[in-house]
Every structure is written in structure tokens, then in C-alpha cells.
Amino acid sequence: MKALEKSIRRIVRAHDLQSKALVKASGLTAAQLVLMKGISELGEVTSAALSAYADISPATVVTVLDNLEERGLIQRYRSGSDRRIVHTRLTERGAEMVRQAPEPLGAAFAARFFALEESERRTMVASLIRLADLMSSAAPAAVEEKRG
């Protein structure tokens, strides 16, 4: 168990350091970049779809989108067919930032990861998904509520 806990701490620390480097390089937080890439990939999209895409709570998505809209990186507008639905799209400036943004986990990590055999990458991803599921199911509900 100690080796597992130590490995998780190392991953968290590496992610924190990479997140700080991302902000410094692009001016975007990891959550902002993930949502902007989601908009870029999915097209004009609702916040609910972005929440599912990024696995970020709906309340957090709205807060991040508010910030991106204030910065002129996205636009939100109501659906013509159903005024209750709000769509989001990138502005030209936002699309340019996505094109120029560094890899969220770092170029060095991406290069090393994609140098692995495909079967090893698949096994690693499957194991991490399982670990994340185990950790999420064990997380106290109150902590998750504060995140959202």
C-alpha cells in the first residue's frame, strides 16, 4: 500500500508542477484548456456536454466558462429552437490559443508515453481508469461537493 500511496503522491505532484508550467506558458489553467479543447473538438456545445467530456462538475464548468467569456476566448448564446439551451463556441482568439497551447501533460511526457508499445499504453490507461474509479467511489461526498 505504501508504494501505491507514494506513486499517487508523485503523480499528483508532477501534475501540479505541469499545471503551473501550463499557466505560465499559456495563461490558461488545466481546466480552462481542457474545456477549450473540448469546445474545439465537439464544436458548438452545451455546458452539460462539456461537463461529461471533461469529467468536471457542471457548476465548475459554468465558473470556468464565465472566466473564459470575460477574457473574450469563448462566446455563449441561446439556442434558436429552445431558449433554455445555451451553446458555447470559441472566439477566433480562443481558437488561436487552443492551436498554440502546449500539451496539458507536457511535451516530454507525451513523447515518452507515445514511445511505449501500444499494448503497454492501453494497459496503463486501463489501470489508471480503474484506479480513478476506485478512488472516486471512496471519496467523501462532501469533498466532491466543494469541488463543484
Q: What are the pLDDT digits (tens) for 104-132?
A: 777 788 899 999 999 999 999 999 999 98
**E strand or H helix at 38:** helix 30-42
Pairing of strands 45-46, 74-78: unpaired
The domain locations on the chain are 7-115
Q: Are 54 and 34 in contact (CB under 8 A)?
A: yes
User: Does residue 54 register a pLDDT over 70?
Assistant: yes
User: Does residue 21 register a pLDDT over 60?
Assistant: yes
| Single-letter amino acid code for the residue at 127 | S
User: What is the residue-averaged pLDDT of the chain?
Assistant: 89
Q: What is the structure's pLDDT at 148?
A: 47
More confident residue, 18 or 95: 95
Q: Mean pLDDT across the stretch 51-75?
A: 95
CATH architecture entry for 7-115? Orthogonal Bundle (1.10)
Using alpha carbons only, give the angle 14, 19, 33 rounded to the nearest 5 degrees.
135
Within 10 angstroms of residue 18's Cβ, the number of other Cβ atoms is: 18
Q: What is the structure's pLDDT at 15?
A: 85
